[in-house]
Every structure is written in C-alpha cells, then in structure tokens.
Homo-oligomer: A and B are copies of this chain.
Amino acid sequence: MTEQEVRQPIPIPVLDTAQPRLDEVRLARIALTWLAEPGTRSVHRLASRVGPVEALHRLILGDVPDTKLRAAVRARLAAGDPREIAERAVEHTERLGARVVIPEDDEWPSRVKDLVRLSLAGADRRVDQETAPPLCIWVRGSWPLGEALDRSVAVVGSRAATPYGSHVATEIGYGLADRGWTVVSGGAYGIDAAAHRGALNAGGPTVAVLACGVDRPYPVGNTALFDRIADTGLLVSEWMPGADPLRHRFLIRNRVIAAATVGTVLVEAAARSGATQTTHRALALHRPTMVVPGPVTSAMSIGAHEVLREHPQARLVSGVAHILEEVGRIGADLAPVAQGPQRPRDRLDDEAALILESVPRRGVLGADSLAARAGVDVRTTLRKLSLLEGLGLLIRRDGGYALPPANLTRRGAGSTVGGDER
C-alpha cells in the first residue's frame, strides 16, 4: 500500500450502489423474472425494497427468509447462471427488433402498479404467483407501451367461441378501435382473435398480451394475425423470447390484461372456464368489468351469465355504446337509452289515449258515446277529439268519429291492441 493510497481513500461508488445503471437494473429484472415466474409476490416485494440488482444478488446467494422461494430458485439455478441468461435474452431481444421495458422507463404502463393491491379469494390457486406487477415486459412493435395502453379496453372470452360470440367480439373490437380505444386481448383463437381482427379492420392498433416469448406467439395458427398486430400495434409478454406457452402462464398473464386496461369485457365463456379468470382479476382490481350476455341455451354463455349473477359490480353490456359508458369519461361517450320509434300517439295524455282507444275498429261513434266508453267527461272528450283529429289519429265521418284508414291498417288485423304493448 503506497502512501498516496493511504492518504487518498478509494472513492466509494456511492452513485453506483445506490442507483445502479439502467442496463444493470434491466438485466437484474430479466434475471429475476427468469428465476421465479412473473407475478411472484415475494420476489416483487424484495425487488421493491432493496432494488432489483440487490434482490438478484440475494436470491442467487440464497439470502432470503422464504424457504419455498429459496428452494425454487436453487432448482432454477441448476439450469444456468441467471445473469448470463439475462444477457443472452437482451441480445436475442435486440436481434428480434424487440425491446425490454422496465418500470424505470418512460413508456412503462403506470396502471399495472395497481397489481400490488390485488388480493385474490382464498380458493384461488397459485396466489403467490399471480398477483404482483410485472418486473419487466418484452415489447414487439414501435408504439410506446404506456401510450398504447392509456386508453385501452380488454376484450376476452372463450377460445371455443360460437359464431355469435365471434361476431359480437369483432363488432366490439371494431367499435372500440373506431372510437380511438386500444383493444387488448390474449391473441388466442375465438374471442381474442375476433376482437383483435375487429380492431385491425377499423384501422386501429391492438395489443396482444402473450403467455410466451414475443418471438413465437402462440397459437401458430394465428401467425398472420400476430404479424398484422406487430405491424401497427404491439405484441407484449412477461416472458423472454423462446419461452413456451405453459398452461399456468396463461393464468399469470391474465392479471396483466386486467391491470393494464381501463376495463375488461367478457364475451363468451363456458361454465367453470378459465375465460372468466381475467374478469375476476378486473373485479378484484375494481376496474369496470363488463359482460356480454348470450342465449341461455348456449353452453358458451353459461360462464358469462354466472359472472353477471355472482358479481353485482359486473355490468351487462350489449355493445360498444355500453362499454364506452363504463370506461369513458363522465359526460362523454354515454350510451343513449334504447328506445323504439316515436309515434304521435306516444305523446298523448291519459284522456286522449283513453278516448282514442274507445273508438271502434269499424264504424263511427259520437262524442257522447265515446265519453261514456272512455269514462271521460264530455267537455274534455270534445277537446281531446279535436286534438286527435289534428294529429290525424281520428277522422270525422257520418256525424261521429272513426279511425282513419291508414291508422286502422297500422293497428294490425284482428287486433284492438297496437304495437307490442301489453
């Protein structure tokens, strides 16, 4: 040790320790997401507390109190060095023209942080794995992720969709995209694909959240669709390129679909179907949760109806107008109340309506007889008769009042009851 070394203490790398470089953080997050499946609560908590770099360091050393996590990580470490795997993943991602987005980036979608508050019913399996926010997200497509998800709605449902469900999902996808909303779904067959296609048909971008690497989106039968999505929208995933679409990953992925969007629409789901799971995540996050009903004779709507029956917060929606009412800002995007055509007789007051109803289908009656039939006094009857005449609902004939020929026709054959009233 020289004198100078003694006199000049080695500069402590304060900045580096307290604030690791961004690429170091990115690598650590990737390594963590490989060491334990995305969504693992204990890992997310540790990374939030000590930072991703230190969290990775401790996990590799086995320096964590959670014995189950320690054992799981040890088993994973047997397959390779997480830092090397993360570095290779970054290279692979770059070669694909994709990127890894982390919470430290500007384009990180802020809404997913709400997942820290996600608590699931005790009956739910794999609770520890499904609830934490993502540590990082792979993105294929040029649109900034946060911007893409800012005004977004999830449209999800069964893979074994009926023609009805596919039609409705396509309409909803089209309508949302047409109004400037991003349609988010899982890229699966059936409802997911229909929703994505609807959005693309409207020339709107759409986001597919995958349960496997963005380099090999699943299912392969949707490859052409995925290419179209990547062109104008985004393919995103919590798993690194090359990752398989293992079954449990779909359940983990679903929480991101629910958390990243303003609201979730369920179109079709069989009884006890995984398709309702995203809906349950959205409900647990207190996000607008919407369900499209279907025929009660359709097995593919049983799950959808069960959600509506069991969760009063879930709202029945018939189409885009209703969806915009739920997710849109108050005062804008409000659905009009459904109503039939307005007819002159709809504007009649009680007495006028009673008098009109008292006019026989055939033949003529005088004002006195009409007043008696209607139970309205004669003076009022006379006043209302001229009103009805003015509206063209009655004509004067043979010293009395009769229905005009056109009106008679409209009331239908053999009926004294008009329209669909009862």
Residues of A at under 8 Å CB distance from B?
35-37, 71-76, 78-79, 125-126, 129, 156, 158-160, 164, 167-168, 186, 188, 192, 211, 218-221, 244-248, 250-251, 254, 270-275, 277-278, 292-297, 301-303, 305-306, 308-309, 312, 315-319, 322, 337-340, 349-350, 353-354, 357-358, 368-369, 371-378, 380-381, 414-422
Contacts and interface: CB of A to CB of B under 8 A. Distances in A.
A318 B296 contact: yes
A318 B305 contact: yes
B247 A78 contact: no
Given A248-B353, A273-B421, 16 more contacts: A74-B377, A78-B368, A79-B372, A159-B420, A159-B422, A164-B295, A218-B416, A246-B358, A247-B417, A248-B354, A272-B338, A273-B420, A293-B305, A302-B318, A303-B338, A305-B316
Contact of A271 (B35, B340, B378): B340
A119 to B, nearest CB: 17
Contacts of A246: 357-358, 416
Contacts of A354: 248
A376 B79 CA distance: 12
A420 B378 CA distance: 70
B247 A75 contact: no
Given A159-B422, A247-B357, A381-B75, A316 B316 contact: yes
A371 B75 contact: yes
Contacts of A294: 293-296
A358 to B, nearest CB: 7
A186 B416 contact: no
B353 A78 contact: no
A420 B274 contact: yes
Given A164-B297, A338-B303, A274 B75 contact: no
A66 B300 CA distance: 58
How many copies of this chain?
Answer: 2
Contacts of A293: 293-296, 301, 305, 308, 316
A36 B160 CA distance: 58
Contacts of A372: 75-76, 78-79
A373 B309 CA distance: 39
B357 A248 contact: yes
Contacts of A129: 350
16 contacts: A71-B377, A75-B372, A76-B375, A79-B372, A126-B353, A211-B422, A221-B414, A246-B358, A247-B417, A274-B420, A293-B293, A293-B301, A296-B318, A309-B316, A312-B312, A316-B316
A166 B3 CA distance: 98
B297 A168 contact: yes
A41 to B, nearest CB: 13
B292 A296 contact: yes
A367 B293 CA distance: 46
Contacts of A420: 158-160, 270, 273-275
A170 to B, nearest CB: 12
Contacts of A414: 219-221
Contact of A375 (B37, B303, B305): B37
A376 B371 CA distance: 87
A205 to B, nearest CB: 22
Given A318-B296, A421-B247, A378 B75 contact: yes
Contacts of A421: 247, 250-251, 273-274, 277
A73 to B, nearest CB: 8
A211 B160 CA distance: 46
Contacts of A296: 168, 292-294, 317-319
